[in-house]
Amino acid sequence: MDLKDSPAEAAFRKEAVAFLEEHASFVRHLDMSHGEWEPMVATLTRWQHILFEHGWAAITWPAEYGGRGCGPVEQIIWNQECSRFGVPASINIVGIGMAGPAIIAHGTDVQRERFLPRILDGEEIWCQLFSEPDAGSDLAAVRTRAVRDGDSWVVSGQKVWSSGAHFAQRGILLTRTDPTLPKHGGITFFLLDMQSPGVTVRPLRQITGEAHFNEVFLDEVRIPDSDRVGDPAGGWPVAVTTIMHERMTLGGSLGVFQRDDLVDLARAATPLDPVVRDRIMRVYSRDRCLDFLNARVISKLGAGQVPTAEGSIAKLCAARVFTDAADVALTVLGPPALTDENPWQRLLLIAPGIHLGGGTDEVQRNAVAERVLGLPREADRSRTDPFADVYLS
Ligand SMILES: Cc1cc2nc3c(=O)[nH]c(=O)nc-3n(C[C@H](O)[C@H](O)[C@H](O)COP(=O)(O)OP(=O)(O)OC[C@H]3O[C@@H](n4cnc5c(N)ncnc54)[C@H](O)[C@@H]3O)c2cc1C
pLDDT tens digit string along 224-282? 999 999 999 999 999 988 887 766 555 444 567 778 889 999 899 888 899 999 999 99
**CB-facing half-sphere around the CA of 27: CA atoms within 13 A:** 27
Question: How many angstroms does the Cα of residue 217 sit away from the middle of ligand 1?
Answer: 19
Instruction: Determine how β-strand 126-129 pairs with β-strand 170-176.
Output: parallel
Report whether residue 208 contacts ligand 1, using a CB cutoff of 6 Å.
no
H helix and E strand count, the chain? 14, 8
Q: Which residues pair with 228 in a beta bridge?
A: 190
Question: How many angstroms does the Cα of residue 129 sit away from the middle of ligand 1?
Answer: 13
pLDDT of amino acid 311: 83
Q: Which one, of 247, 311, 243, lies nearest residue 99 by Cα? A: 243
pLDDT of amino acid 71: 84
Report whether residue 382 contacts ligand 1, using a CB cutoff of 6 Å.
no
Q: Which residues touch 321 (CB under 8 Å, ≥6 apart)?
A: 283, 286, 287, 290
- Torsions phi, psi for 285 (to 5 deg): -70, -35
Full DSSP string of 6-30: PHHHHHHHHHHHHHHHHH-GGGTT-
Q: What span, in angstroms and rounded, lies between the C-alpha atoms of 333 and 335?
A: 7
Quick one: DSSP state of residue 230?
S
Ligand 1 atom closest to Cα of residue 129: 11
pTM of the model: 0.93
Per-residue confidence of the chain (393 residues) as pLDDT tens digits?
566 889 999 999 999 999 999 999 999 877 766 667 888 899 999 999 999 999 999 998 999 999 999 987 888 889 889 988 889 888 999 999 999 999 999 999 999 999 999 999 999 999 999 999 999 999 999 999 999 999 999 999 999 999 999 999 999 999 999 999 999 999 999 999 999 999 999 999 988 888 888 999 999 999 999 999 999 999 999 998 888 776 655 544 456 777 888 999 989 988 889 999 999 999 999 988 887 887 777 677 667 777 778 888 988 998 999 999 999 999 999 988 888 878 899 889 989 999 998 889 999 999 999 999 999 998 899 999 999 999 998
Cα 263 to Cα 49, 313, 327, 344, 347: the distances in Å are: 37, 25, 14, 13, 16
Question: How many angstroms does the Cα of residue 134 sit away from the middle of ligand 1?
Answer: 10
The letter for the amino acid at 21 is: E
pLDDT of amino acid 3: 67
Question: How many angstroms does the Cα of residue 138 sit away from the middle of ligand 1?
Answer: 8
**223: helix, coil or strand?**
strand
Ligand 1 atom closest to Cα of residue 378: 41
Nearest CA to ligand 1 atom 18: 136
- Torsions phi, psi for 16 (to 5 deg): -65, -45
Cα 177 to Cα 134, 158, 223: the distances in Å are: 17, 15, 13
Three-point CA angle 280, 283, 288, nearest 5°: 125
Give the torsion through C-alpha atoms of 290, 296, 298, 302, to 10 deg. 170
Q: Report the 10 Å Cβ neighbour count for 314.
A: 24
Report whether residue 369 contacts ligand 1, using a CB cutoff of 6 Å.
no
Catalytic residue among 74, 81, 246, 310: 246
Question: What domains appear along the chain, each with residue ranges and CATH number?
Answer: 7-120 (1.10.540.10), 126-233 (2.40.110.10), 254-371 (1.20.140.10)
Question: How many angstroms does the Cα of residue 336 sit away from the middle of ligand 1?
Answer: 33
- Torsions phi, psi for 256 (to 5 deg): -80, -15
Is 246 known to be catalytic? yes
pLDDT of amino acid 300: 73
Q: What span, in angstroms and rounded, lies between the C-alpha atoms of 287 and 383?
A: 37
pLDDT of amino acid 105: 94
**CB-facing half-sphere around the CA of 121: CA atoms within 13 A:** 7
Report whether residue 242 contacts ligand 1, using a CB cutoff of 6 Å.
no
Nearest CA to ligand 1 atom 41: 363
pLDDT of amino acid 255: 60
pLDDT of amino acid 35: 62
Nearest CA to ligand 1 atom 48: 360
pLDDT of amino acid 307: 74
pLDDT of amino acid 302: 66
Q: What span, in angstroms and rounded, lies between the C-alpha atoms of 321 and 34?
A: 25
